[in-house]
A = this chain, B = another copy of it.
Amino acid sequence: MLSILIFAAVQAASATPLATPAASDALPADWVAIPDDQILVMTLAGGGTVVMRLAAAQTPRHVANIRKLAKAKWWDTGGSVYRVQDNYVAQWGDVTEKKPLPTDVDANPPAEYEWQGAAPVAKLTRRDPYAEWGGYTRDGWPLAGSGTVQWLPHCYGMVGVARDLAPSTGSGGDLYAVIGHGPRALDRNIAVVGRVVEGIERLSALPRGTGDLGFYKAPAETPVAIVSVRLASDLPAAERPHFQYRATDNARFAAWITARENRQPPFFVVPAGGADICNALPPVRRAPAASGAISGAAR
């Protein structure tokens, strides 16, 4: 019986079409391919991979650095996940803080924390506690905005650039992913450069570090070695993972928002009438094998 509950509960809590009425189901054409050079694949010791989408349009200078670091295989030697703080972040890069950056990497890019943007193509109903609105870009990024500026919110699975005190903005050599309740106070204070689209559990289920701020404490705790970090576009074609975002500029997505804000019976008795952006992240998925992608299911 409880499994019925759980099924109903999670169906309603998930972003799968099963959870929502037909009006909110995506049409095949709503799913759009994400360019291979926006997909970053990090392989950890033990074989697990964490796949990220890079926010190339929102944070071009930081993403340019990350692409150069991946091409230089900078993380492959000595790179590790060295900090896991419960309900906050998992952070990786160069724990020694001494490894030289490739000469073509900008050690301190401009602060790509927020930008003057066009109105979002879709918005949530209620005000965001950290902004005036929460909404979406057409191409599947969550947004928050106030006045004339907008930014990428610190939601579960979003990836940010570790930095020193201002004016440091961080090179991109050290990155973190949110593994707890969205620490939205970091919005507009750090460059958010992407989102984990597959394998977040490889980071969120890691043992928490017992050192200050969740750093792994030697000798009992050891960082998780990074085997490699590659852009999908630099992988052999047969090994490239392909992902798609769900376009947000259509009536199906508007219905999806309404369904997220008002969960339905039989499990839900009282609909909320609203949601926060971190509980309504736009769907991203592996490209179905039929589209030619090498999906996990197809292999």
Contacts and interface: CB of A to CB of B under 8 A. Distances in A.
A157 B87 contact: yes
A272 interface: yes
A186 B275 contact: no
Interface string A65-87: 00000000000000000011111
Given A168-B1, A180-B180, A272-B184, A6 B266 contact: no
Interface string A264-297: 0011111010111011000000000000000000
A84 to B, nearest CB: 8
A246 interface: no
A27 interface: no
Contacts of A118: none
Contacts of A113: 270
Interface string A134-157: 000000000000000000000111
A202 to B, nearest CB: 9
Interface of A: 1-10, 12-13, 83-88, 91, 93, 97, 113, 124, 126-130, 155-157, 162-166, 168, 170, 174, 180-189, 200-201, 204-208, 212-215, 260, 263, 266-270, 272, 274-276, 278-279
Report copies per complex. Answer: 2
B156 A6 contact: no
Given A183-B279, A184-B276, A275-B129, A87 B168 contact: no
Given A1-B164, A3-B97, A7-B213, A13 B267 contact: no
Given A2-B164, A5-B168, A130 B185 contact: no
B130 A127 contact: no
Contact of A185 (B88, B182, B263): B263
A239 to B, nearest CB: 23
27 contacts: A2-B162, A3-B215, A5-B163, A5-B168, A6-B91, A12-B185, A13-B186, A86-B205, A87-B156, A113-B270, A127-B129, A128-B129, A130-B272, A130-B274, A130-B276, A156-B181, A166-B267, A180-B180, A181-B278, A182-B279, A185-B263, A188-B269, A188-B272, A204-B204, A205-B205, A205-B207, A276-B276
